[in-house]
Amino acid sequence: MRRLHCFLLMLALCLMAGLLAALSISFDAQNPPAPGETEIVSHFKHWYIAREASSVPAEPPSDLPGINSGQMTYGGDCSSCHGEDGRHPEPLGQSMFPPAPDLGSASGQRWSNAELFWIIKHGIRHSGMPGFGKINPDDKIWDLVHYVRSLASGPGDIKPSQ
């Protein structure tokens, strides 16, 4: 009898904990996530992208025609969220959680080229970042990677023509 009481008490506690957890989970995209939520998701996201990036196709060399072509594709596919110059995200991009970042910032540039390729091709699930692999072939995606890289390059590095 005592064991049954103990079991029922444990069951009630588990149900209460589950209910509290369910109530604190939110799918609201207008308010910031709970403290800790972003850090946990971000940690997992980095680990996952680094793992997936190890199998992206071989990278072609970065050159001016490729960067210019990446800039053209960027204007049509990316500027609505990340901003016309990649450095000043539009209000639409800023309103997301996580927000569309300034791609030339230290945080936007912390990815390797292979990781950038993977992100642009596949997108980031449960975020506003779409995948472009179904509408752009791999060579166009590499051009986008090289364009994104050019946003933070130093003097002497290749920049888009205009």
Q: Does 72 contact ligand HEC by CB under 6 A? A: no
Cα–Cα separations (whole angstroms), residue 91 to 63, 72, 80, 82? 32, 21, 9, 9
Q: For residues 104 and 129, give the distance between their C-alpha atoms in angstroms, rounded to a whole number.
A: 16
Q: For residues 128 and 94, give the distance between their C-alpha atoms in angstroms, rounded to a whole number.
A: 10
Task: Choose, by CB under 6 A, the member of 56, 67, 114, 120 that binds ligand HEC.
Answer: 120
The phi, psi pair for 121, rounded to 5°, reads: -70, -45
Q: Does 98 contact ligand HEC by CB under 6 A? A: yes
Q: Does 108 contact ligand HEC by CB under 6 A? A: yes
Number of residues that bind ligand HEC (CB under 6 A): 25
Segment near ligand HEC (CB under 6 A), from 16-24, 26-34, 60-68, 70-78? Answer: 70-78
Segment near ligand HEC (CB under 6 A), from 10-18, 50-58, 128-136, 152-160? Answer: 128-136
Identify the CA nearest to 66 among candidates 113, 29, 124, 106.
113
In total, the chain counts a number of residues equal to: 162
* CA angle centred on 96, ends 146 and 120, rounded to 5°: 25
Q: Does 80 contact ligand HEC by CB under 6 A? A: yes
> Is residue 54 within 8 Å of residue 124, measured between CB atoms?
no
Q: Does 119 contact ligand HEC by CB under 6 A? A: yes
Q: Does 148 contact ligand HEC by CB under 6 A? A: yes
Residues that bind ligand HEC (CB under 6 A): 74, 77-78, 80-82, 93, 96, 98, 100-101, 103, 107-108, 116, 119-120, 124, 127-130, 132, 144, 148
